[in-house]
Structure 1
Amino acid sequence: MKDEIVLDLETKKSFQEVGGKYNMHLLGVSVVGVYSYKADEFYAFEEAEFRRLEELLRSAARVIGFNSKHFDFPVLQPHVRLDLKGVAHLDLMEDVEQGAGFRISLDNLAQASLGVGKSSHGLQAITWWKEGNIEAIKKYCLDDVRITRDLYEYGKKNGFVAFDSRDARAKLTIPVTWDKDYEPTGNTQASLF
């Protein structure tokens, strides 16, 4: 049985440091966090361990992320030999944005749906990188992986995710169909890119 994994990453630099969002390939990757459904384990990979990460990605039936299509995968691609465009993929943010008509942060969705928020933010992870605090980056990244996994499970179970409206006066929901009956198989799904 092929694995289904949840992925998030943290960068070494900010968009401001590399001249904007069109230079994602220059951001660098400090840590990639992964949850494996098959092993029921969380893993944090540093750059020296990316070959092991590639093996996990290659064996995955699907990768689940939040803004992974337009951020995590493009940032990670220069650091791995595997063509990430060929990896079956579900980007939760893309589905939420299509349903709502606008982007909603992972923190907002997690607080409204799960009752928990993110433990920090990506710019803090960059500061930790500059300070050499890899363990703090790993903890934060794996917290985001856990939140993404739990949001995915919540949406599968309930058929919707919740968010606080922009004026914060109401909690609203967005219907999602995150493969309630999906079971990873040996068959590779078509890429969503």
Structure 2
Amino acid sequence: MQNELVFDIETKQSFQDVGGKHNMHLLGVSIVGVYSYTDDVFRCYEEKDFSLLEEAFRNASRIIGFNSMHFDVPVLQPHIKVPLASIPHLDLMNDIESYLGFRVSLDSLAKMNLGTQKSGHGLDAITWWREGKMEMLKKYCLDDVRITRDVYEFGKKNGHVITETRTDPRVLVPVSWHAPVTSATAQVSLF
């Protein structure tokens, strides 16, 4: 069975706090939310739990995120020992952007494909971290993980996701998000 992990991170600081996007490594990580397909469980990892998070990443057949290649991975990597670049990775936003030529928001995809919306904004998460409101922070992070997972599932099932552009209120973006075939899976399927 494939052990895909859907993940999202929240930071301790904003780009404004650290002097811009070129200082991404200074943002810090307040929480990492993960959904494991193998366990069918959502989990949050605080900094003190990062050894458990590393184990989850080591066992992953693929990691899935939204803007994860350009944000989550570069921010998280300095804080964990597992080389995230060595794990197969599906970044939903990158895939959609490569088709459209521009970025779309997770909130827009949630509204158009799932009939729901995000429960907050990344800057809210920083405020909750600073105020010690960990339950609100965890809920927000896991809501984003759940939405990312559900958009991924929608795309896998339908072969497309729906978004909007400035000129078209409904655009179908073709996607091919099926789980990668591993050599063990390929071998079994030969017989």
- TM-score, normalised to structure 2's length? 0.92
Q: CA deviation at 1:82?
A: 1.0
Letter in 1 for 2:24: M
CA distance in 2, matches of 1:65, 1:184: 20
| Residue of structure 1 in register with 2:39 after alignment | 39
Q: 1:43 to 1:185 in 2, by over 3 A?
A: farther
* Corresponding position: 1:132 with 2:132: yes
Does structure 2 conserve the Cα–Cα contact (< 8 Å) formed by 1:35 and 1:145? yes
Q: 1:72 to 1:163 in 2, by over 3 A?
A: same
Letter in 2 for 1:123: L
| Residue of structure 2 in register with 1:172 after alignment | 171
Q: What is the percent sequence identity of the aligned residues?
A: 59
Q: CA deviation at 1:186?
A: 5.9
Letter in 1 for 2:169: A
Q: CA deviation at 1:164?
A: 2.4
Q: Which structure has more RCO (C-alpha within 8 Å, separation ≥ 6)? A: 1
* Corresponding position: 1:93 with 2:93: yes
Bigger shift: residues 42-51 or 157-166: 157-166
| Residue of structure 2 in register with 1:191 after alignment | none
Letter in 2 for 1:66: F
Point out where structure 1 has 5 or more consecutive residues left out of the alignment. 188-193
| Residue of structure 1 in register with 2:188 after alignment | none
| Residue of structure 2 in register with 1:51 after alignment | 51
Secondary structure of the corresponding residue to residue 60 of structure 1? coil
Superposed CA offset, 1:25-74 (max 9, x none): 10000000000000000000000000000000000000000000000000
| Residue of structure 2 in register with 1:103 after alignment | 103
Letter in 2 for 1:177: S
Q: 1:51 to 1:153 in 2, by over 3 A?
A: same
Does structure 2 conserve the Cα–Cα contact (< 8 Å) formed by 1:11 and 1:125? yes
| Residue of structure 1 in register with 2:13 after alignment | 13
| Residue of structure 1 in register with 2:63 after alignment | 63
The number of aligned residues is 185
CA distance in 2, matches of 1:7, 1:176: 19
Secondary structure of the corresponding residue to residue 61 of structure 2? strand
- TM-score, normalised to structure 1's length? 0.91
CA distance in 2, matches of 1:151, 1:75: 23
What is the alpha-carbon root mean square deviation over aligned residues? 1.6
Q: CA deviation at 1:15?
A: 0.2
